[in-house]
Amino acid sequence: MCELLGMSANVPTDICFSFTGLIQRGGGTGPHKDGWGITLYEGYGYRTFKDSQACFHSPIARFIQDYPIKSRTVISHIRQANTGSVSLENTHPFTRALFGRYWTYAHNGQLKDYEQLDTGAITPIGNTDSEYAFCWILSQLSQRYHSIPKCWSSVFYFIEELSTQLTKSGIFNMLLSDGEYLMAFCATKLFWITRRAPFGKATLLDQDIEVDFQQQTNSDDVVTVITTEPLTTNETWNKMMPRECLLFRFGESTRASSKQKVLIS
């Protein structure tokens, strides 16, 4: 299985600390050595960095780790391939333009019969089940909305319905963003944490690194991090339930499924 990492913040924030924890699992402390990628939004524009080699050994990953590119919305992914070759075109996250916005997506899991999904004019470039599912979601959106939607919350409710449909074909844990909203859909495993004042210290699980967020933040900062597995040892993470969907905007949750969340330390 792959691992996901997402961030939503109310001010431009660097992802260096969380990304440092993630890349240890990409060929270091974990088996996810078949590529990695990260997309960072600047307004509605974006930067994407990808590599088909393990991020633990990737010079590009070290650049991102050391260079504090600040963003309000980030999606990252480390891959353990199950369908599709180990190649750049099969490396997440995937980004496509729709409704005048760039949509970025990353998936953890495996889907059956994915090649039967009708992607319409949005043709996959690679050959993974993940990209097929992304193209299908965008195709369904373009069929439902013939012009730019006026109510974005309804768009994400529809994506939640589509995500639930995909769980019938296998495991579908997903992060998706249009640059403003960050959506998390859980089929089996996702965790999240929202950090706000009073900020404290956090210690990475996969590397002996501690950061004092109090020294790096302002009192009104809000930062939410979503990941497949908790990244820190001394914080309380919220565990999402199967088929639970969360939507964040600028660090704050805009809505949640009715399913009860489970806390772990």
* Residue bearing the bigger pLDDT, 53 or 212: 53
> What pLDDT digit, counting tens, does each position of 173-209 carry?
999 999 999 999 999 999 999 999 888 888 888 676 7
pLDDT value at 27 more than 80: no
Burial 178-215 (b: 16+ CB within 10 A, else e): bbbbbbbbbbebbbbbbbbeebeebebbbeeeebebee
Residue 129 has pLDDT above 50, yes or no: yes
Rounded-to-integer distance, Cα 178 and Cα 104, Å? 6
Element (H, E) at 135: helix 129-144
pLDDT, residue 214, reads 76
> Which CATH code fits 3-105+174-264?
3.60.20.10
Residues 6+ apart with CB under 8 A from 48: 37, 38, 39, 40, 93, 95, 104
Q: Are strands 94-98 and 173-177 parallel, antiparallel or unpaired?
A: unpaired
**How far lies 211's CA from each of 18, 38, 70, 200, in Å?**
10, 22, 17, 9
Q: Which of 2, 55, 135, 245 is catalytic?
A: 2
Residue 240 gets which letter from DSSP?
P
Per-residue pLDDT reduced to its tens digit, 79-102: 776 776 788 999 999 999 999 999
C-alpha 104/C-alpha 40 separation (Å) is: 10
Q: Kindly state the average pLDDT of the residues 111-120.
A: 94
pLDDT, tens digit, for every residue of 150-171? Answer: 888 889 999 999 999 999 999 9
Name the band, by pLDDT with cuts 50, 70 and 90, for residue 260.
very low
Q: Is the pLDDT of residue 259 over 50?
A: no
| For range 94-123, the mean pLDDT | 95
Percent of the chain with pLDDT over 70: 90
Q: What is the pLDDT of residue 2?
A: 79
Total residue count of the chain as it appears in this document: 265
> Across the chain, how many H-helices and E-strands are there?
4, 16
Contact 204, 20 (CB under 8 A): yes
Mean pLDDT of 107-122: 94
**Beta carbons of 236 and 195 less than 8 angstroms apart:** no
Of 35, 45, 53, the residue nearest 12 (C-alpha): 45
Cα(100)–Cα(181) distance, integer angstroms? 14
- Spatial separation of the C-alpha atoms in residues 35 and 27, rounded to whole Å: 10
151 is catalytic: no
Higher per-residue confidence, 17 vs 164: 164
> Quick check: 251 and 194 in contact, CB under 8 A?
yes
